[in-house]
Amino acid sequence: MNLPLLILGRAFRLIVAEPLNTLKVIAPGTVLIALAAYIVLQGFGGDLAASQSAPTEINAALVIVGLVLSLLGWMTFAIFWHRHALLQDEARHEVMTVTGRIYWQYFKGALIVLLLAMLAAFALGFGAFFVTAVFSAASPSILSIVTLGTTLTINMAISWILLRNSLVLPAAATGAHLTVSESWAATAPVSRDIFWTAILLSVINVLLQQMMMAVAATQPGLVLPASLVQIILQSLIFISVLSTLYGHLVQHRPLE
């Protein structure tokens, strides 16, 4: 359990060691993400909840522009942060100087990782359906426990697979090349520790979600901003963990 704590400790130090630098690096991506959310909202008539309950005219062009801008925003957010965490010496001056080639490599890597995660989710979901069907005749309490257990298992497994495959992303962000199979091989010696890291990340995500839900309950007008803050924080922590794993396993950096 020591290594997962070291990984998370290093990831959090990346975030809080220099707060102003953190804000500077994530600001461009965050602004693009917020702008994209606003554009998509306008595409749905300015009120997404209302458009779901009562059909309204949807501006497809605005929605598409917003989604494309959101993709660009998330890639900018992740690429800048990976580079901030991993580039060294003179290269640190180029943290926020990114070429189109790096964006393209990152997009391809993210697409491959996402497709693999979807395949894993499909396979695990089929298994969960089979297990639930076996216990379908059981009492409601037992069925609830089985359903909860299978859901948690699927979430943990997908998080573990993502962490093991996703070293291709920090590699792409820094201009290096790493295949998914190489990422899987690099994480093999610490696969058990990565599983525990995935569990700790899930706990952190639940805590952040509960905090934001509490804010939304007391301040309904802050639901969208609170949700955006929650997603940004969860993403920043996950990307920091990926950067830490890449730095430790591929670049052979110490965690302490």
| Tens-digit pLDDT profile for residues 116-142 | 999 988 888 888 788 777 777 677 777
**181-185 average pLDDT score:** 95
Contact present, 194 and 163 (Cβ < 8 Å): yes
For the chain, the domains span 2-249
* Residues above pLDDT 90, as percent of the chain: 52
Average pLDDT in the chain: 87
CA geometry: angle at 158 spanning 7 and 179, to 5°? 75
Confidence band (pLDDT; 50, 70, 90) for 46? low
Contact present, 79 and 98 (Cβ < 8 Å): yes
Is the pTM higher than 0.95? Answer: no
pLDDT 10s digits, 187-237: 999 999 999 999 998 888 888 888 887 877 787 777 777 888 889 999 999
pLDDT of 170: 96
CA distance 204 to 84: 23
**Which position has the token pair 């062009």?**
61
